[in-house]
Each structure stands twice: as structure tokens, then as C-alpha cells.
Copies of this chain bind each other. A is one copy, B any other.
């Protein structure tokens, strides 16, 4: 199976959750964001005139003849193919449920810097961003992390083995640390299981090699997790 990851160049964004699964699985893939001829293919994957199953937005995974959109959907597919999720129905559903809950906090993290419109600059919604970020720091991050802490059992979120959910929880912690360093420094002692899981993922050989490579795009202020000091306290 040859994979192509179709995602915007220059940022981790939601594409990063897919990259981490591909890297952990150790399967070859072409990251079209790094290819000179990538952009037309990324744009075509969103175009109902050009593909049978267009996506509303990237990331999109091309897997042979399949074109798969929506991050959690891509991960469900990769999890089944590459032993990054349980085979049994109950475990598969549980992994998907947790991944969708991660998707929810990721959307909320995005909305801290764009609470009014994705079509306006951050600077044009900064006041509202401060209010939304405050709620996110004080109410939402603790609520979500309390939840995720409660489901990590035996070192993993799903069953007794690594799954794509663990990889995504690692990325969530990374992103929150980047965007909200003061908040996370304060909160992390309350989440020992999540932090241990994060550290365990970071130490896995394929992930450690990836994080050291040029393929890991640094966090920056075009992604979902952005460091605007005025939004952290």
C-alpha cells in the first residue's frame, strides 16, 4: 500500500495526528506538503468535480484507490491496518470515541485564537480571543484532561497496548504545552498518567526518530496550537 498525506504545507495542524500514526507504524508515505507538485493534488482532493469522495478540508489520506478525509476517520483506517487499534468491535469503538473527544478539544484550542471567524486575522478578534482563551484555560482544559486522565489505565488509553489514541494524546499535550506553557506548568502535576503516557510515546523509537527529524515541522503561529503570550496566564 502506498500512502499519500494531503495536507497544507508549513504547519503541523490536524495533519500531525496522521503523521504520528504513519511514523509509528513505520510505513512509507509521501507527504505532499513537501512536494513541489503537491498543492494541485491537495486542492483536487477537496473538489467534487475531480474526485469521487471530496473532503471538506484536509488532512486527506490517499491509500491506493481510497481517498479518506476527517482526521479521526483516517486514524480509524490506519489503526485497523497497522495494529494501532484493537480488532474487536468494543475496542475499535472506544478508540474512535476517544479520538473524537480529542478532536473536540483540538477544535476548541483552535477557537481560542479565532473565536469569531476563521476569515478574520487573529489581531481583529484579539479581545474576544482573550475571553475565550481564559475560559479554555480555566474550564475546558481541566475538564478534558480530567476526563482523559480517568481513562488511562495500565499506561494506555485503549486496552493494554499502544493505539493511535495514545499518539494523539501525546500530540495534544505537546500542543497545549506550546500554546499555554504557564497553564500547563500549573496543571500537569494533576495528570500523572497522561504525562507518563506522553513520555512513553515520545520515547518510542520511531516517534523519537521522527521528532528529531526535519519531517517534524516546528509548532508555529499558522497551526492550531499557537503561542500568543496574551492568551496564556
Contact = CB atoms under 8 A, between A and B. Distances in A.
Interface of A: 48, 53-56, 66, 68-70, 72-73, 76-77, 89-90, 93-94, 96-97, 100-101, 103-104, 107, 111, 115-117, 119-120, 128, 131-132, 135, 139, 144, 147, 150-151
Contact of A107 (B70, B107, B147): B107
A68 B97 contact: yes
Contacts of A128: 115-116, 128, 131
A100 B116 contact: no
- Assembly stoichiometry (copies): 2
Given A115-B116, A131-B117, A94 B56 contact: no
A70 B151 contact: no
A139 B100 CA distance: 25
Given A56-B147, A66-B89, A76-B93, 11 more contacts: A53-B151, A54-B147, A68-B97, A70-B100, A70-B101, A72-B100, A73-B93, A73-B96, A77-B93, A116-B131, A117-B139
B116 A56 contact: no
Contacts of A147: 48, 54, 56
Contacts of A94: 53
Nearest to A55: B97
